[in-house]
Amino acid sequence: MIECGSNREAGTVDDLAVRSVSPALQSDAEIAVMASLFDALSDHTRLRIALALGVSELCVSDLSALTGVSPSAVSHQLRILRDRHIVTYRRDGKRAVYRLADEHVAALLSIGSAHAAEPAGELA
């Protein structure tokens, strides 16, 4: 198998291609933030919570009922999502009502959902 262009030997580097792509890559700090975001969303429960919050603002009790995990476990997962700036909350009396942090998170979830809904043969 030849790794890159058919006119090149496997393992050789195309310096022009590397120089042209390198400036377009994010900084190490931005990549670390992105990796942290995707890491947080890689957990089944946290992703389910984020998807639910993409539909409506919800409190811990609502999220517990939707996910089938204890309110304590939901609170723990929400703390991680808050720390990664995926969700935020507002106070409604004694209750905290959670929502997605911004439209970027909503767009990311929407794109992920659309991609996941594609037939497996189209993913390649």
CATH assignment of the domain containing 66: 1.10.10.10
Place of tokens 């984020």: 50
The confidence score (pLDDT) of residue 11 equals: 78
In a domain, 1, yes or no: no
Rounded distance between C-alpha atoms, residue 9 and residue 96, angstroms: 59
Say if CB 51 and CB 86 are below 8 A apart.
no
pLDDT at 92 over 70: yes
In a domain, 74, yes or no: yes
The confidence score (pLDDT) of residue 6 equals: 55
In a domain, 105, yes or no: yes
How many distinct structural domains can be found in the chain? Answer: 1
Say if CB 26 and CB 12 are below 8 A apart.
no
pLDDT band at residue 114 under the 50/70/90 scheme: very high
In a domain, 21, yes or no: no
In a domain, 9, yes or no: no
Q: What is the mean pLDDT of residues 62-84?
A: 98
Give this prediction's pTM: 0.82
pLDDT cut 90: percent of the chain above it: 85
CB atoms within 10 A of CB 81: 24
In a domain, 45, yes or no: yes
Rounded distance between C-alpha atoms, residue 98 and residue 79, angstroms: 11
Q: Which domain holds residue 106?
A: 26-118
Q: What is the mean pLDDT of residues 96-124?
A: 89
